[in-house]
């Protein structure tokens, strides 16, 4: 078959096709994050317009938007991950490309909040789930050597988005309006992503080989049912949930919090953009460290820095302080995110990684849903974000504790396999 020939050719060719795969997946994740990159700068003013400048109610609705977006990923990530394992990543990414553009274009024409929630929260939430887990799984299957750095490079598309899409969206909004900005970016997503979806190729056969370290190399063929019952899966899922629950609120409400502290809206967007740029550097730095030191200790250290950064938000109010904290916070939360995929790949192997990482990502999405909603509720109730940052700090410390408990010792052999058989 042509696919087999392509796989053999890719394997023989070595690094060049793998570099091509990394570049493509980087671009795909960047375009996937068009949705979040455009919405963070415009959503506060958009909602205030819909609710007649009721600031307290706007904060609550702002958080609800983020929660709906994340809940759709929670529901869809395991399903889409399983579909990518069964039918291939290309068809899942193509469907996500269509939904992403559709969500942005239809949201640009919304005449009420519920219409906007349906178009943006539901459609784009599903689209985001169709990209992240399947493409991260595909990237880890393509790359064996320096896998942590390679996966970090792929996920760096997300870090670039706040640096590029958010300022561009802010400029379009200033020059025109939010509807025009969403329409333009939605059409751009269709034009760029739909053709690119047809370039997605399966990983070369033979990449599902053992890692050089015997302790982390898959020695058995897992079934999905076996994998989802292991303590390692539960630990990773809970750690990813707590990690995202801790940082999602401060990230999603970053622009609003800066504005509450007296920073002008367009300037506040630069705080968010700087955090995204720093997250790009964090992915690369922690990816290199993970290849040298192991993914688990780097993950634990990054989670600790993330928690301490969130606590520091309680003490900042000036623009310079926001900038400095954005660098550290972005470095931490950006750097830890790819490491969950690395640990899943090392422990469970590539064959079922789309399904397993999709399930882990579902718990992460649940955490992402909690933070924005909690931030809106806290602001609505206490007219400030102090308790958001205090609670996020506590959850961040819980993430550190859970990650510490992850066992990198080799998996239980085959009691689960015999039971399943």
Specify if 179 maps to a domain. yes
Q: What is the pLDDT of residues 196-222, one digit of tens each?
A: 778 777 766 554 443 444 344 444 567
pLDDT band at 182 (very low <50, low <70, confident <90, very high): confident
388 near 201, Cβ under 8 Å? no
Residue 174, domain CATH? 1.20.1250.20
Q: Which residue has the higher pLDDT, 123 or 419?
A: 123
What are the tokens at 323? Answer: 């900038």
pTM passes above 0.75: no
Specify if 372 maps to a domain. yes
Helix ranges restricted to H, 33-54? 34-50
pLDDT band at 323 (very low <50, low <70, confident <90, very high): very high
303 near 405, Cβ under 8 Å? no
CA angle 177, 180, 183 (to 5 degrees): 150
Specify if 3 maps to a domain. no
Looking at residue 13, its pLDDT comes to 41
Looking at residue 394, its pLDDT comes to 96
Over residues 125-154, the mean pLDDT reads 72
Specify if 414 maps to a domain. no
Q: What is the pLDDT of residues 336-363, one digit of tens each?
A: 988 998 898 888 877 777 788 888 888 8
Cα distances (Å, whole numbers) of residue 268 to 23, 44, 56: 31, 12, 19
Specify if 237 maps to a domain. yes
Q: Which residue has the higher pLDDT, 411 or 253?
A: 253
- To the nearest whole percent, how much of the chain has pLDDT over 70? 70
367 near 252, Cβ under 8 Å? no
Q: What is the pLDDT of residues 93-110, one digit of tens each?
A: 888 888 888 988 898 888
Using CB atoms within 10 Å of the CB of residue 320, give its burial: 0 to 12 exposed, 13 to 18 middle, 19+ buried.
exposed
Question: CB atoms < 10 A from the CB of 421, how many?
Answer: 7
Q: What is the pLDDT of residues 74-99, one digit of tens each?
A: 777 778 877 887 888 888 888 888 88
Of residues 135, 121, 16, the one with CA closest to residue 75:
121
Over residues 113-142, the mean pLDDT reads 76
Q: Residue 18 pLDDT more than 60?
A: no
Domain count, the chain: 1
Please tell me the distance from the alpha carbon of residue 211 to that of residue 102, in angstroms, as a whole number: 41
Specify if 218 maps to a domain. no
Looking at residue 48, its pLDDT comes to 62
Specify if 417 maps to a domain. no
Q: By mean pLDDT, which of 33-37, 276-280, 283-287, 314-318 is the weakest?
A: 33-37
Q: What is the pLDDT of residues 363-393, one digit of tens each?
A: 888 888 888 888 878 887 888 899 999 999 9
pLDDT band at 160 (very low <50, low <70, confident <90, very high): low
Cα distances (Å, whole numbers) of residue 29 to 34, 36, 78, 122, 163: 9, 11, 18, 19, 14
Helix ranges restricted to H, 51-124? 55-87, 89-107, 113-116
- To the nearest whole percent, how much of the chain has pLDDT over 90? 19
Q: Residue 69 pLDDT more than 60?
A: yes
Per-position DSSP letters for 283-328, written without gaps between them:
HHHHHHHHHHH-HHHHHHHHHHHHHHHHHHGGG--SHHHHHHHHHH
Phi, psi of 185 (to 5 degrees): -70, -35
Of residues 266, 242, 240, 246, the one with CA closest to residue 255:
266
Tell me the pLDDT of the chain averaged across its residues: 76
Q: Which domain holds residue 365?
A: 14-201+223-408
Specify if 2 maps to a domain. no
Of residues 145, 135, 133, 172, the one with CA closest to residue 42:
172
What are the tokens at 307? Answer: 């928690």
């Amino acid at each position: 078959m042509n696919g087999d020939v392509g796989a053999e050719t890719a394997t023989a060719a070595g690094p060049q096709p793998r570099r091509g795969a990394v570049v493509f997946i980087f671009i795909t994740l960047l375009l996937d994050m068009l949705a979040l990159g455009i919405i963070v700068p415009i959503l506060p003013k958009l909602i205030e317009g819909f609710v007649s400048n009721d600031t307290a109610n706007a904060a609550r609705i702002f958080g609800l938007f983020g929660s709906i977006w994340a809940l759709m990923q929670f529901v869809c990530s395991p399903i889409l991950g399983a579909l990518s394992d069964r039918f291939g990543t290309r068809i899942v990414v193509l469907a996500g490309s269509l939904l992403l553009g559709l969500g942005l274009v239809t949201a640009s024409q919304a005449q009420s909040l519920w219409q906007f929630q349906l178009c943006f929260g539901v459609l784009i939430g599903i689209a985001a789930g169709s990209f992240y887990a399947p493409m991260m799984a595909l990237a880890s299957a393509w790359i064996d050597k320096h896998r942590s750095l390679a996966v970090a490079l792929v996920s760096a598309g997300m870090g670039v988005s706040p640096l590029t899409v958010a300022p561009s969206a802010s400029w379009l909004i200033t020059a025109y309006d939010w509807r025009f900005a969403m329409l333009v970016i939605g059409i751009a997503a269709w034009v760029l992503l739909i053709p690119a979806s047809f370039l997605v190729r399966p990983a070369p056969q033979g990449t599902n080989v053992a890692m050089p370290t015997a302790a982390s190399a898959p020695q058995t063929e897992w079934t999905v049912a076996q994998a989802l019952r292991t303590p390692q899966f539960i630990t990773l899922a809970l750690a990813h949930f707590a990690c995202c629950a801790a940082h999602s609120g401060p990230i999603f409400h970053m622009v609003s919090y800066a504005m509450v502290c007296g920073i002008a809206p367009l300037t506040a967007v630069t705080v968010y953009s700087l955090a995204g740029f720093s997250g790009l550097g964090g992915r690369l730095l922690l990816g290199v460290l993970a290849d040298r030191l192991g993914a688990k200790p780097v993950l634990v250290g990054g989670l600790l820095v993330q928690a301490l950064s969130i606590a520091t938000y309680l003490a900042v109010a000036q623009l310079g302080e926001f900038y400095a904290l954005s660098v550290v916070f972005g470095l931490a939360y950006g750097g830890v995110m790819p490491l969950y995929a690395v640990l899943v790949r090392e422990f469970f192997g590539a064959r079922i990684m789309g399904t397993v990482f999709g399930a882990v990502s579902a718990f992460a999405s649940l955490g992402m849903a909690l933070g924005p909603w909690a931030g809106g509720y806290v602001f609505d109730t206490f007219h400030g974000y102090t308790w958001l940052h205090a609670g996020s700090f506590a959850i961040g410390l819980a993430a550190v504790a859970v990650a510490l408990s992850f066992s990198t010792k080799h998996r239980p052999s085959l009691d689960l396999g015999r039971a399943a058989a």
